[in-house]
Amino acid sequence: MNAEIIAVGSELLTSERLDTNSLYLTGRLNALGVEVVYKCVVGDDRARLSDAVRLAAGRSEIVVLTGGLGPTEDDITRDAVAAALGRGMSFRQEIADHIQARFARMGRQMAEINRRQALVLDGAEALANPNGTAPGQWIESDGRAVMLLPGPPVELEPMFERECLPRLERMVPPLVLRTRFYRVAGMAESDLDQLISPVYKPYANPVTTILAAPGDIQIHLRARCPTLAEAEALLAELGAGIEALLGDRIYSRTGEPLERVVGDLLRQRRETLAVAESCTGGLLGERLTSVAGSSDYFSGGFLVYTDAMKTALLGVGVQLLAEHSAVSPQAAEAMAMGARERTGATWALSVTGIAGPAGGAEDKPVGTVFTALAGPDGVCSLRSRFLGNRARVRALAAQTALDLLRKKLNAAPG
Amino acid sequence: MNAEIIAVGSELLTSERLDTNSLYLTGRLNALGVEVVYKCVVGDDRARLSDAVRLAAGRSEIVVLTGGLGPTEDDITRDAVAAALGRGMSFRQEIADHIQARFARMGRQMAEINRRQALVLDGAEALANPNGTAPGQWIESDGRAVMLLPGPPVELEPMFERECLPRLERMVPPLVLRTRFYRVAGMAESDLDQLISPVYKPYANPVTTILAAPGDIQIHLRARCPTLAEAEALLAELGAGIEALLGDRIYSRTGEPLERVVGDLLRQRRETLAVAESCTGGLLGERLTSVAGSSDYFSGGFLVYTDAMKTALLGVGVQLLAEHSAVSPQAAEAMAMGARERTGATWALSVTGIAGPAGGAEDKPVGTVFTALAGPDGVCSLRSRFLGNRARVRALAAQTALDLLRKKLNAAPG
């Protein structure tokens, strides 16, 4: 089965923005065994969008449209698809009521133009949107489907997972697809690939995909077989080879991010964590608390961006800072110990470094970062040198700190 | 004049890769006053590519194809464009000689299949490719142009600069493109559109585009006129109407994010800022310190995720928390005052709320957030109710806190 993806919105035709929803959608469709054969971006132009929909629906079984479902005049997807498919639209009072209730919960009045979002194509099912006002729409006939989805990823992705995937699974002929994930911290993509490619290259099935973010590599194995047993056997065989090579550098086998893995370890041990952040400025705390329920183990922390704050909030000695500077193992360790003492947490992580672009020196160039971990048995620190811009250095610093704690917890079972 | 961009290659239809050449090409075309009205990605499929070229060439003056000019069977661009335009192809010995010489310089033999790269469409000009084997092709007739360019950016960009731009400048009537940005905090997209659409709707030129992220709306105005003065005059006219309606809700006229706008205000005033974060867990500090040079005004902060930490680190009274709970205006204000006192900063922002998914109550449902600002003249707080998932509630809370400070600074010039 083939699919096409049509992204709608003039903002996606500027020189600054790309349609990234199609990557997520392609991943999901591929996992069902559906190939994406064409994708396009159309501006807010009714005629061009209708042409695109007509062409796509005429040659591919699945057509996914994203965006253009908002309440304003330039949100043209509903109209254009109705014209392309030769269908009418009708106003659904229950959707308007739902939108109105959503506004009411925010203590606001629904604007008159939002009524447009309650227009549904004849024969379409409305798809619930818990994160926005615009419902999606699903139009299916003769084993073919056209779906209209909202543009913001935070609305699109849950809707696709909950509403579209079950409908697609019903439509698409069965070929079992099984996946396995690994997430690896603390390796460069090229080093990892050089290490494991002799193992995965001989396999055309499972397909191996490597995705790299700063300090965080995801390895996806996808096996597609007539039976579940065959798919599982292939994954187990290839997976064993990869695990043998990567060992403890694999921090997750389920696709969970590092902050969740570390959080689960802490929760199991009934231990707590505090942070002291200089160059990451809150990123480490932000990641830890992005996990629902993190108050079970995250005590709190200190953003000590200036030397004065390191002394005032964490008791880092003025003498120590004068002698070693704030970017030193001594400062990192004093920060971690200060945070642990002041919060009473079991563990405290600290980060101090030079995120750039300015502030580098010959012995401590931009990208130099010290992370430290204080715990029941003392304190240790790690020196790293990260390459890249400010955002990348900060991301790598936070990742390195979390991985320092993960390794410590794994090495000293609670 | 309108342009369309067609990227060719099945690798661009996977879940890992995007066609980024189109961003470069769009920037260059826009600078000439040419608008990109459609772009698409086609796999290595002759029929679908021919359809795409036929449709594009039939409705837009400029069609740019990238990729598919290699020597192998699945490099189909030449064939598909010839079929779409109803043109033949002929072998050009001088191009084959040139490719052969290139191979010879690398000490290699030209493979027989590379002869395919010397096929040129009837009536086309070959475009030199100093960085690769495949020449580009330029087909112009009746004031319209179709160009075939190689996919690798290192080949495409120099070819476009040297070969295509001069030809396009000859073709395109001189038209100046000028843009203006506004960024607006604290409004829902539909409310904003209802407010300003009566002002921008009457203008076909400038084109108005509205982009919404949680708590952050961007308005882009793009004027295309024969002269710079006319474009500027149109933008000034429409801009004045929009500014009159939005007033202080506009926080940026240059596209800069809110954390940078607030930071610049603080730097000008030589004032400093501290934060006290509960439900945002570091997000506010992370945003503030994502700006290089933020140590000029950002003192530091406290991540007080538990009640115990609010008391221990910020001195929020046990009695106060018992009476009003941690999610209350009283707690938010005490957090802000505590952070200001302990850091000596001019201002302190605090955030406390229920990010969800759990923790809501009838009088304080999930999404209830209090932000407070303490400053030289006292403390104030704001109650908000945000809808959406945990990430969205946290994003809106951080944005609301930053905007609270921005408005205060604007209202009380330093």
pLDDT in tens, B277-314: 999 999 999 999 999 999 999 999 999 999 999 999 99
More confident residue, A303 or B212: A303
Residue A325, token pair as written in the block: 């500077």
Grouping H, G, I as helix, E, B as strand and the rest as coil, residue B326 is: coil
Contact B45 A51 (CB under 8 A): no
CA distance A326 to A352: 7
pLDDT of residue B176: 82
Which residue is closest to B187 within chain A, CA to CA? A108
**Nearest CA-CA distance, residue A395 and chain B, Å:** 11
Residues in chain A: 414
Q: Name the B residues in 37-96 with CB < 8 Å from any A CB.
A: 37-43, 45, 48, 51-52, 55, 59
Cβ atoms of B240 and B314 within 8 Å: the answer is no
**A112 → chain B, closest CA residue:** B194
Mean pLDDT of chain A: 93
Q: Which of B280, B312, B387 minimises the CB distance to A106?
A: B387
Q: In this complex, which of A11, A355, A356 lies closest to B209 when CB atoms are compared?
A: A11
The C-alpha of A172 sits at a distance from chain B's nearest C-alpha, in angstroms, of 19
Question: Confidence band (pLDDT; 50, 70, 90) for B146?
Answer: very high
Angle at CA of residue A373, ends A367 and A374, nearest 5°: 145
B308 with A299: Cβ contact below 8 A: yes
Is A305's CB within 8 Å of B306's CB?
no
The CATH number that domain A258-411 falls under is 3.90.950.20
| A234 has pLDDT over 90 | yes
CB–CB of A210/A190 below 8 Å? no
Report yes or no: B184 and B251 within 8 Å, Cβ to Cβ.
Answer: yes
Could you tell me the pLDDT band of residue A397, with boundaries at 50, 70 and 90?
Answer: very high
- For chain B, give every residue range classified as CATH 3.40.980.10: 2-171
**pLDDT > 90: what percent of chain A?**
73
Question: What pTM did the predictor assign?
Answer: 0.72
Using a CB–CB cutoff of 8 Å, tell me whether B205 touches chain A: no
pLDDT at A50 over 70: yes
Pair B168, B26: CB distance under 8 Å:
no
Q: Strand order in B62-66's β-sheet?
A: A125-127, A136-141, A144-149, A62-66, A2-8, A35-42, B35-42, B2-8, B62-66, B144-149, B136-141, B125-127
Residue written as token pair 């400070």: B405
End-to-end Cα distance, chain B: 49
**pLDDT band (50, 70, 90) for residue B414:** low
The stretch B104-115 carries a mean pLDDT of: 81
> How far is the C-alpha of B187 from the C-alpha of A139, rounded, in Å?
33
Q: Is residue B139 classed as helix, strand or coil in its secondary structure? A: strand
Contact between chains at A281 and B289 (C-beta distance less than 8 A):
yes
Cβ–Cβ gap A285/B275 under 8 Å: no
Neighbours of A112 (CB within 10 A): 10
| Pair A228, A178: CB distance under 8 Å | yes
CATH architecture of A2-171: 3-Layer(aba) Sandwich (3.40)
CATH 3.30.70.2860-classified regions of chain B? 176-252
Identify any residues that bridge with B352 across adjacent strands, giving them in sequence order.
B370
Portion of chain A with pLDDT greater than 70, in percent: 100
Closest residue of B to A133, CA-based?
Answer: B190
Terminal alpha carbon distance of chain A:
50
CA angle A404, A406, A408 (to 5 degrees): 70
Interchain CB distance below 8 Å, A48 and B30: no
User: Which residue, chain included where needed, has tokens 């069965």?
Assistant: A174
Structure tokens at B206: 């400038």
Interface of B with A in 158-197 (CB under 8 A): 188-191, 193-194, 197
Mean pLDDT of B104-126: 87
Integer angstrom CA distances of residue A23 from A7, A377, B18, B19: 12, 46, 8, 11
- Distance CA(A48)–CA(B56), nearest Å, equals 10
Task: Point out the residue among A43, A111, A277 whose CB comes nearest to the CB of B191.
Answer: A111
Question: What is d(CA B180, CA A288) in angstroms, rounded to the nearest whole number?
Answer: 38
CATH number of B176-252: 3.30.70.2860
Give the C-alpha separation, B220 to A11, whole Å. Answer: 9
pLDDT, residue A299, reads 94
Model confidence pLDDT, tens digit, residues B203-251: 988 988 888 888 899 998 989 888 999 999 999 999 999 999 999 999 9
Taking the CA atoms of residue A106, residue A107, residue A111 and residue A114 in that order, the dihedral angle to the nearest 10 degrees is 30
Sequence letter at residue A323: E
Q: What is the ipTM of this complex?
A: 0.71
Q: Report the pLDDT value the prediction gives residue B199, as an integer from 0 to 100.
A: 96
Residue B77 CA to residue A134 CA, distance in Å, equals 39
Q: Is B19 helix (H, G, I), strand (E, B) or coil?
A: coil
Joined together, the tokens standing for residue A318 give 């003025």
Residue B239 Cα, gap to closest chain A Cα (Å): 19
Strand partners, A62: A3, A145
Q: Where are the alpha helices (DSSP H) in A173-257?
A: 189-200, 228-246
Per-residue pLDDT at A183 exceeds 70: yes
Encoded tokens for B274: 């501290």
Sequence-distant (≥ 6) Cβ neighbours of residue B340 within 8 angstroms: B274, B347, B348, B374, B375
- pLDDT (average), residues B8-18: 88
Q: How far is B301 from chain A (nearest CA, A)?
A: 4
Structure tokens belonging to residue B79: 């064939």
pLDDT of residue A414: 66
Please tell me the distance in Å from A211's CA to the nearest CA on chain B: 8
* Cβ pair A138, A147 in contact under 8 A: yes
User: Is the separation of the CB atoms in B387 and A99 below 8 Å?
Assistant: no
* A305 vs B43, B299, B303: nearest CB: B299
A109 in reach of chain B (CB within 8 A) = no
Spatial separation of the C-alpha atoms in residues A138 and A148, rounded to whole Å: 7
| The residue type at B252 | S
Q: What is the mean pLDDT of residues A60-86?
A: 93
Strand, helix or coil at B324?
A: helix
Q: Closest Cα partner for A49 from A15, A73, A85?
A: A85
For residue B289, the distance in angstroms to the closest alpha carbon of chain A comes to 6
B48-84 pLDDT per residue, tens: 999 999 999 999 999 999 999 988 777 899 999 999 9
Is B395 within 8 Å of B215 (Cβ atoms)?
Answer: yes
Per-residue pLDDT tens over the stretch B25-42: 998 898 888 999 999 999
Q: How many Å apart are CA A324 and CA B267, to the nearest integer?
A: 28
Tokens of A376: 């029941």
**pLDDT at position A210:** 80
H or E segment and range at residue A308: helix A307-314
Q: Do B38 and A290 touch (CB under 8 A)?
A: no
Helix pair angle (A46-59, B46-59), 10° resolution: 160
Positive or negative, the Cα torsion across A191, A195, A200, A206?
negative
Does position B129 have pLDDT exceeding 80, yes or no? yes
> Distance between CA atoms of A177 and A172, rounded to whole angstroms?
12
CA distances from A292 to A260, A287, A356 (A): 9, 11, 32
CA-to-CA dists, residue A247 to A159, A173, B43, angstroms:
37, 37, 38
Partner-chain contact A41 B42, CB within 8 Å: no
Q: Is A104 on the interface with B (CB under 8 A)?
A: no
Q: Confidence band (pLDDT; 50, 70, 90) for B103?
A: confident
Please tell me the distance in Å from A238's CA to the nearest CA on chain B.
21
- Candidate from A234-238, A406-410, B39-43, B354-358 with smallest mean pLDDT: B354-358
Tokens of B259: 């954390």
Q: Where exactly does CATH 3.90.950.20 map onto chain A?
A: 258-411
CB pair distance less than 8 Å for B305 and A289: yes
* pLDDT on residue A369: 97
Alpha-carbon gap: B111 to the closest alpha carbon of chain A (Å) = 26
Residue length of chain B: 414
Q: Which residue of B has its CA nearest to A10?
A: B209
Cα distance between residue B231 and residue B175, in whole Å: 9
A378/A389 Cα distance (integer angstroms): 33
Minimal CA–CA distance to B288: which of B239, B205, B351, B225? B351
- Note the pLDDT tens digit of each residue in B159-189: 999 999 999 988 887 778 888 999 999 888 8
Residue pair B379/B337 in contact by the 8 Å Cβ criterion? yes
Helix H, strand E, coil C: the string for chain B is CEEEEEEECHHHHCCCCCCCHHHHHHHHHHHCCCEEEEEEEECCCHHHHHHHHHHHHHHCCEEEEECCCCCCCCCCHHHHHHHHHCCCEEECHHHHHHHHHHHHHCCCCCCHHHHHHHEEECCCEEECCCCCCCCEEEEEECCEEEEEECCCHHHHHHHHHHHHHHHHHHHCCCCEEEEEEEEEECCCHHHHHHHHHHHHCCCCCCEEEEEEECCEEEEEEEEEECCHHHHHHHHHHHHHHHHHHHHHHEEECCCCCHHHHHHHHHHHHCCCEEEEECCCCCHHHHHHHCCCCHHHCEEEEEEECCHHHHHHHHCCCHHHHHHHCCCCHHHHHHHHHHHHHHHCCCEEEEEEECCCCCCCCCCCCCCEEEEEEEECCEEEEEEEECCCCHHHHHHHHHHHHHHHHHHHHHHCCC
Higher pLDDT, A387 or A344: A344
